[in-house]
Amino acid sequence: MSSLYNFKKIEPVPTAADFIDIILSKTQRKTPTVIRKNYNIGRIRQFYMRKVKYTQDSFEEKFKNILDEFPKLDDVHPFYADLMNVLYDKDHYKLALGQINTARHLIDQVAKDYVRLLKFGDSLYRCKQLKRAALGRMATIMKRQKDSLAYLEQVRQHLSRLPSIDPNTRTLLICGYPNVGKSSFINKITRADVDVQPYAFTTKSLFVGHMDYKYMRWQVIDTPGILDHPLEERNTIEMQSITAMAHLRSAIMYFMDLSEQCGYSIEDQVKLFHNIKPLFANKPIVLVINKIDQVRPEDLPAEQRALIEEIMNQDNATVLTMSCYNEEGVMDVRNSACDKLLAARVEMKMSGNKINDVINKIHLATPTARDGIARLPNIPDGALSKTKYDPNDPNRPKLEKDLEVEAGGAGVYSVDVKKKYLLGDEDWKYDTIPELWEGHNVADFIDPEIEEKLEALEREEERLEKEGFYDNNEPIMDEEEEELRNTADAIRERKKLIVQAHRTARGSKTAIVPKKVLAKNATVDEMNDHLSKMGIDANAAVERTRASAVGRKRTRAEAIPDEAVKDADAAVRDEVVTREMSNLGFRNVKQKKEADKQKKLNQVQNNKMGKRGEADRNIQTKMPKHLFSGKTSMGSRDRR
């Protein structure tokens, strides 16, 4: 159910300081910011006039939003007008909105005056000072609205927390003394979740729940408890209940606690009912006796029963009993209150002036008699029975249920789904394979001796099994299958040879051990064996190695390196380097060095692009003067 009044959409009201910052920042962002001394004086005047006008328009827009969104007490429903008067004080509320409206007119006047002066500015300095004076006076006017803006923000926050109450819809209003079971009742019949505690004044504001009854949506309002004292002595919590009872067209449900566990006697509760009875005028009244699990009306003394009967007789109130504890009679109370309210609303509409206009537009068409023949209503036989056909009627058609009973009942009878087939020949319905193709039944073209042939094959299989024909586990292959398998084996063998040859041509896939590691772990004998396998005489090199191990000084002749060993080392080194380059995808070392050089050159440009550029966000003025400069106290005047 959507309410006519939704105060949650009101925008927040900024403080006076935030208001000024928002407007001046917007002016700085949305208007030109660069002006030169050598500009034409007309251009300079237009520059500063535009700033003053834009600031005035921004203030005007903000003020207009505030004045339009906040509800006007003269335009809203009287219920909301009185409720806001109770909660926020009508005079204070109107005064705050009036202050905002006055500030809007003052700022408009300041802008007009200074724009008129700017038209006659004779220099850049004069125009700039006029602009500063205009914005300064606007800011001063805003600072004076500090209290009004703070008050309106508090009002907005409280308004957004108010429940959305539709004053014109079907409403049940629950009222009575504190702690008589009002919140427990609304929790039972609606989707609301109101706090329930065993002490008075747990409910301090209006709560709304919604329910469905007779395919219509109803709202149920739980009001705070009220006490029996004069109107001028009631506090804000009680006045919310009084306001709801006075202005909402609803069914009044007055709750009473006969057990007096609420802390108030039956006489006090009856007295309160008579005290607020003028608020119930022209509204259906339901007197709800709660907590009957403790005390029932028939258990009361005669004097107290007489008080309740007096309310029932004099005030035309309906007395209902229930207990929220064991939920006895809760739904009956709800339904009775809803029915009584519906009857009252219909009666009110019928007694109004608009009903005549509606009735005049309604026309009931009645057919005229065509002839003098009496056409009485005809009810077929069995139409009034529980089943479609009367079972005693001998002419009624036989149903599938009758066939089931005749065949033995459920679980024995099987429904014949083929009996209603519409085919060209009735004999086709129960064919073994009832499938048609090109107008012919497929079953008509099946070999009629197929079953005899199948039985002959099965007998032959049984004979072969008995003779042991299938006892041999060797696979039975014919010549074609055997040839196919041999060809596949030859292809697989050929593939293996190709893969091995390819791997041999590419070289070993194992990691190449560096020469330093080999030299550290290798022995002299291993080196001698390795060089011997390569066809190189390494005796001289072995002798020198062993001689140097015992510390003997070499002669000049021995110091001359063996050419064969040098050639062997160079050949091994070249082989290792060539293999490593081949694994990396290079032909030689020179090509690898050139690739490394090109890689470094390409990375230079990427490193440059990683630095700050003209497309990066750049805030030229990190501390705008209009936000950070003002009256200085002791200390530096450097605003930066």
| Mean pLDDT across 497-515 | 71
Measuring CA to CA, which residue among 52, 75, 221 is closest to residue 121? 52
What's the distance, CA 557 to chain centroid? 94
Question: How far is it, in rounded angstroms, from Cα 205 to Cα 223?
Answer: 7
Residue, of 278 and 576, whose pLDDT is higher: 278
Sign of CA dihedral 197, 198, 199, 201: positive
Answer for the pair 335, 213: CB distance below 8 angstroms, yes or no: yes
Encoded amino acid at 400, one letter: E
Q: Which of 19-23, 308-312, 408-412, 581-585 has the lowest mean pLDDT?
A: 581-585
In the chain, % of residues over pLDDT 90: 28
Distance CA 363, CA 465 (A): 95
Task: Find, among 77, 100, 204, the residue nearest to 151 by Cα.
Answer: 100
Question: Sorting pLDDT into bands at 50, 70 and 90, what band is 260?
Answer: confident
Q: Is the pLDDT of residue 513 over 70?
A: no
Most confident range, picked from 12-21, 229-238, 400-409, 631-640: 12-21
Q: Is the pLDDT of residue 411 over 70?
A: yes
Question: 257 pairs with which residues across the strands?
Answer: 290
Q: How far is CA 239 from CA 1, 91, 605, in A?
A: 26, 17, 77
> What band does 1 get if pLDDT is binned at 50, 70 and 90?
very low
Note whether 3 and 165 are within 8 A (CB).
yes
Alpha-carbon distance of 493 to 480, in angstroms, equals: 20
- Give the residue range(s) of CATH 1.20.120.1190 domains in the chain: 7-158
Residue 634's pLDDT band (cuts 50, 70, 90): low
Instruction: Please provide the DSSP assignment of 332-384 as one string.
Output: HHHHHHHHHHHHHHHHHHHHSSHHHHHHHH-----PPP-SS--------TTTT
Q: What is the largest CA-CA distance in the chain?
A: 157
Contacts 24+ apart (CB under 8 A), 12-16: 12/153, 12/156, 13/66, 13/149, 13/152, 13/153, 13/156, 14/149, 14/153, 15/146, 15/149, 15/150, 15/153, 16/142, 16/143, 16/145, 16/146, 16/149
Residue 124 pLDDT exceeds 90: yes
Q: Is the pLDDT of residue 614 over 60?
A: no
Q: Say if CB 307 and CB 266 are below 8 A apart.
A: yes
Residue 114 has pLDDT above 80, yes or no: yes
CA of 77: how far to CAs of 1, 7, 67, 243, in Å?
18, 14, 18, 12
Q: What is the rounded average pLDDT of the residues 559-565?
A: 50
Residue 196, class by beta-carbon neighbours within 10 Å (0-12 exposed, 13-18 middle, 19+ buried)?
A: middle
Tens-digit pLDDT profile for residues 266-325: 888 889 988 888 888 888 999 999 988 888 888 888 888 888 888 887 777 888 999 888
Q: Is the pLDDT of residue 613 over 90?
A: no
The boundaries of every CATH 3.40.50.300 domain in the chain are: 166-353
Contacts of 305 (CB under 8 A, 6+ apart): 297, 298
Q: How far apart are CA 167 and CA 177, in angstroms?
A: 23
CA–CA separation, 105 and 138 (whole Å) = 11
pLDDT of residue 516: 63
pLDDT at 471: 74
The string of DSSP letters for 519-560 reads: HHH--HHHHHHHHHHTT---HHHHHHHHHHHTTPPPPHHHHS
Question: Going by CATH, does the domain composed of 7-158 fall within 3.40.50.1820?
Answer: no
Cα–Cα dist 172/188, whole Å: 14
Question: Which CATH fold topology does 166-353 show?
Answer: Rossmann fold (3.40.50)
Cβ partners under 8 Å of residue 218, min gap 6:
169, 170, 171, 172, 210, 211, 212, 338
For residue 77, pLDDT beyond 50: yes
Compute and round to an integer the Cα radius of gyration of the chain. Answer: 53
